[in-house]
Amino acid sequence: MNKEINILNSNRNDITDAESLRQLEFIEKARDYVSDKEKELGRKLTACVVTFGCQMNARDSEKLLAILRLVGYEESESENADFVIYNTCTVRDNADQRVYGRLGACSNFKKKNPHMKIALCGCMMQEQTVIEKIKKSYRFVDLIFGTHNIYKFAELLCTCLESDRMIIDIWKETDKIVEDLPVLRKYPFKSGVNIMFGCNNFCTYCIVPYVRGRERSRSPRDIVRECEKLVADGVKEVMLLGQNVNSYGLDFKDDDPNKISFPELLEEVCKVEGLERIRFMTPHPKDFSDELLDVIERNPKIARHIHLPLQSGSTEILRRMNRKYTKDSYLALVDKIRTKLPDVAITTDIIVGFPGETPADVDETIDVVEKASFDNAFTFIYSKRTGTPAAGFPDQVPEEEVKENFDRLLKVVQETARKQSEKLTGVTEKVLVESVNEQDSSLVTGRLSNNTLVHFPGDESLIGEMVDVKLANCHGFYFTGERV
């Protein structure tokens, strides 16, 4: 665990500079409060950050934790802490339900610790119905804010520490990107890097555009500078993050010198010396350009892994999902990738049970899984999200039928994934070691460029190292191997 708190400096000279300085002042202020409380209680205060959802939320949580640490809290893995914050996700209903469950359990800790503060932030908080429900049934929550004003966390924390009332601050939208906030990385050797925020695609099932707002790209200079800073701080691998990375830069005006495309940005990031591996998540199939393939081909630093969400293999369902590609155009893209970059692993996301989906539509999806030979796929059961167009579509599929289709699909997904993995048996590959194996401490666990997991004999000293490993045995989704 990297205990350094890292303030990313830049020479940007716009309003966001002033904003980050303002937030640093609030950190000072909150620090006084926490230190007074420590004296009063005769012990250190603890804070716990619980994260749900995607890589963007994980990255946001690293910012929340940095501020909590700077303010003087000690990090706690347990929610039996003095400050607990849930960074929520609302992409599917089960994510919401998990938050409510955890909140209920957390209220029991609060009954025993009157100094405890409970906070909620993230995507779920951008929904009016959620706020109503918390105001009504979860009165013990102290602070609620959303996705657009997370940069104000230090300020909101001050307000919350000074008040006994429930503080709620939710913004509908923002056009601001505040740079230079503190970050405390979970892993010393790898890091997410936001390249853009929000989404403009409005897939009909998806709530993300409503809770994350419109697309806003960070300037290439800020992104490259962040990568350089990270490398200086020991990072070997970055993952460039955005809901649709291919639309990076499209929101800049045509005469803006910052205006570059995603492939151009990738090339710039490849030039950062000392950076060994670059990942990106997520590209949208509708915008996947030949130029992007060329850049990947030319730059061995770019990971041999493309996550290419399919969602459905039925052209009619794709149309109703507003995905803007067809079964055939998706397969043609996969073909192009496989021909040009034979060592790339392609993974995907699939939704089962979209309104009106028939078993024949699922057959189409299964056909794509087989033809594309996905290296892995995340399969999700459709979840109706209030406010999205699909929530009002007719023919919601009965649960039983969804379950049957889901199982049918999963079986094929697992078969293709195993077949793809097996191809690497006996090959020697570079592995970035991530951790000591949880089950067997004589082993370490790392990832290949194509994202496959491998376990092999080694110790803690290897964490963060890039080593050559022979992939001796395939176990479905992962390998066991040996260092060479």
- Binding of ligand F3S at residue 91 (CB under 6 A)? yes
Residue 64 or 207: which CB sits closer to ligand SAH? Answer: 207
Residue 46 or 348: which CB sits closer to ligand F3S? Answer: 348
Three-state SS string over 226-271 comes to: HHHHHHHCCCCEEEEECCCHHHCCCCCCCCCCCCCCHHHHHHHHHC
Least distance between ligand SF4 and beta carbon 199 (Å) = 3
Q: Is 227 annotated in some ligand binding site?
A: no
Least distance between ligand SAH and beta carbon 55 (Å) = 10
Q: Partners of 429 in the beta sheet?
A: 469
Residue 90 binds: one of ligand F3S, ligand SF4, ligand SAH, none (C-beta under 5 to 8 A by kind): ligand F3S
Q: Is 270 annotated in some ligand binding site?
A: no
d(CA 84, CA 160): 12
Binding residues among 66-85 for ligand SF4 as defined by CB under 6 A: none
Q: Is 203 annotated in some ligand binding site?
A: yes
Least distance between ligand F3S and beta carbon 439 (Å) = 28
Our CA dihedral for 420, 421, 423, 426, rounded to 10 degrees, sits at 180
- Of all residues in the shown chain, the one whose CB is closest to ligand F3S is 53
Residue 130 or 206: which CB sits closer to ligand SF4? Answer: 206
Closest CA to 38 of 119, 115, 140: 115
Q: Partners of 307 in the beta sheet?
A: 347
Residue 127 or 364: which CB sits closer to ligand F3S? Answer: 127
**Helix, strand, coil proportions of the chain in percent (round to 5)?**
40, 20, 40
Block residue for tokens 């090959």? 427
- Binding of ligand SAH at residue 282 (CB under 6 A)? yes
Residue 194 or 311: which CB sits closer to ligand SAH? Answer: 311
Query: Which part of the chain contacts ligand F3S (CB under 6 A), choosing from 49-57, 127-135, 165-173, 251-259?
Result: 49-57
- Binding of ligand SF4 at residue 204 (CB under 6 A)? no
Inter-residue contact 154 to 27 (CB < 8 Å): yes
350: which residues sit within 8 A by CB, 6+ positions away? 310, 311, 312, 365, 369, 377, 378, 379, 380, 409, 413
Residue 53 or 182: which CB sits closer to ligand F3S? Answer: 53
- Binding of ligand F3S at residue 351 (CB under 6 A)? no
d(CA 222, CA 148): 19
- Say how many C-beta atoms besides its own lie within 10 A of residue 105's C-beta: 10
Residue 189 or 325: which CB sits closer to ligand SAH? Answer: 325
Q: Partners of 122 in the beta sheet?
A: 88
Q: How far lies 145's CA from each of 87, 196, 371, in Å?
A: 10, 20, 44
Per-residue contact track with ligand SAH, 199 to 228, x per CB under 6 A?
------xx-x--------------------
Closest CA to 80 of 119, 107, 52: 107
Inter-residue contact 305 to 420 (CB < 8 Å): no
Q: Which residue positions form the known binding site?
A: 54, 89, 123, 199, 203, 206
> Which residues contact ligand F3S (rule: CB under 6 A)?
53-54, 56-57, 89-91, 123, 208, 211-212
Binding-site residues from annotation for [4Fe-4S] cluster: 54, 89, 123, 199, 203, 206
- Give the interface with ligand SF4 as residue ranges (CB under 6 A): 199, 201-203, 206, 208-209, 243-244, 284
Q: Which residues here bind ligand SAH, judged by CB under 6 A?
A: 91-92, 205-206, 208, 243-244, 282, 284, 309, 311, 349, 351, 380, 382-383, 385
